[in-house]
Structures are given as C-alpha cells and as structure tokens.
Amino acid sequence: MVSVRLIRRKIRTVRNIRQITDAMKRVAAARLQRAQHRVAASRPYAEKLAQTLHRVGAAAGEIEHPLLHTREPRTTCVVVVGSDRGLCGSYNGNLLRFVERFIASQNSDVKVVPVNRKACEYFLGRRDRHEVLRTFVGLSDQSPAGDVSILSTYLRDLYASEQVDEVYLCYQRFVSAVVQRPTAQRFLPFSATVRAQDDVSEASEYILEPDPQTIMLALIPTYVDTQIYHAILEAAASEYGSRMMAMTNATQSATDMIEDLTLTFNKARQAAITTELVEIVAGAEALAEQ
C-alpha cells in the first residue's frame, strides 16, 4: 500500500498543476476573443480593398507588374505559419503533417520559409529533407503591421526576382474554438482578374486620379500584404482556440486524477487506522494474558 504521505504529496502536486492549466485556459480564452475581434475587424478592410482593386483593374486593362507574371512552377516556396509557444494540443502537429503531405504532392522543387518558433524548430531539424530559405519568429495577432510587412516584403522580392515561381501560405484557418483547418493558399502570383461583370460597369462611374495603372501598381503590394496579415490573424486565433481546448482537457484530467487520488488516500488512511487499532487490541490482549 502506498504511504499516506506520498499520496497527499501527489494530490498537492496535481492541484498546483490544475491551477496552472486553469489559468492558461482563461488567458487563452481572453486572447481568443480579442483575436476573433481582430479577424472580424480586418475582413471589411480586406473585402473593400479587393473590391477597389478589381474595379480599378477593370478600368486599367492590361497591367505590367512583377507580381502578376505567371511562370512555369519549377520552384515553389511554402510559407508555414506555426506557433511561438507549445501547450496548444495538436495545433502544430496537424499543421506540419498537412504541410508534409502538401510538399510531397508538388511536382516542383520546394523551399520552405517557416514562421514562428515551432515551425522553425521542425524544419531546421530537417534540413536534409527541406531547404529553408529564411526563418521568422514572433509574428502573431499582436505584432505591429511593420513586423508583418518584413515577411510580406521578403516574399514579394523573392517572387519578383524569380528565385521562386510560386508562393503558398500554409496555416491553420480558424473555424471555431474547437475546429481549425490546415489550409494551403496560393499567395503569389497574384491574380487581378475581374470577378464580376458589375466591376466593369461600376469602374466607369468613377474618375480615377492618377491614372488606373498607377493606382493598380500601388494597390497590388498593399493587397498582397493584407493577405498575409489576415493569414497570421487566422493562425493566431486558431492557436488560442487549440490552446484553450487543450488546457480545458488538462484541467479536467487533473480534476479526475485528484478524485482518484483522494479515494486512494482515504482507503490508505483507513487501512492505516485499522492496522493501528489491530495492533492496539493485540497489545492489550497480550498484557491481559500476562
């Protein structure tokens, strides 16, 4: 039988762990709520920017821009947005398995740009299988726009200089606090095709200054930067949701373990008391016989 003191020590340890996991769950829930607000707030801007881009593109006609050039995909760059911290359940594992399958499905030479610490650790440990072009860390929903623009500028320059022929963003798309879906989104080359006939007719209703071509050349990099910023927001919300669920499960497991240990503790204490009573009775009977 395990000693009562050892069981009491285990109960105290598990209670301390439960306090930590419960606090982490509450922090993740609060950050998830803020991340969801950021994702919702960024959507109107991204949608209006896309609408403006397509309308101006309809008026501009043919445009020459390095990000619009489509080439035969001989070299593909895969940007993997992981998490900076652990203790978020299967968030990184599911994403990295999805990325491995995606890379295996490509017919071109694949190069990787991992973002945040967990993705960097994974791919830097597998340099014999994947060529890592550059690493980025510390990018989340709380990062300034200038930090995110460093990544987007690097990717734009990488494509414009023809070092790669296409760029994909791989991240966890946020569906809910319980569901996050790994996604591979083509980032470059950028497509400026008109999505609706209304864009052509509405574009003629506006007077554009300066000319539409100049406006398009300014809008394309901005829109591309917005895409990657929105992907980082989605990934951050997914990370917080996954961490909240992982810490919820850990807290519940700690509660169940405390109940089991408490039952074992009561049984051990009862057995110890019974043993002491038997020894006292046996001693009393021995004295009486003398």
CB 76 within 8 A of CB 168: yes
Buried-state track 44-64, b at ≥16 Cβ within 10 A, e below 16: eeeeeeeebbbbbbbbbeeee
- Report if residue 54 sits inside a domain: yes
- Find out whether 71 and 162 touch, Cβ atoms under 8 Å: yes
pTM: 0.81
260 domain-assigned? no
Residue 256, domain member (yes or no): no
Among residues 77, 88, 120, 170, which one is catalytic? 88
As for how many domains the chain has, the answer is 1
Give a yes or no: residue 267 inside a domain. Answer: no
pLDDT in tens, 106-161: 888 899 999 999 999 999 888 778 889 999 988 887 877 777 888 888 998 898 88
CA atoms within 13 A on the CB side of 42: 20
Residue 8 located in a structural domain:
no
pLDDT in tens, 32-78: 998 888 888 887 887 788 777 777 776 666 677 777 788 888 899 99
* 258 located within any domain: no
Specify the CATH number for the domain of residue 171: 3.40.1380.10
Residue 246 corresponds to which amino acid? A
Is 77 an annotated catalytic residue?
no
- Mean residue pLDDT across the chain: 83
The residue range of the domain holding 218 is 27-245
CA distance 260 to 262: 5
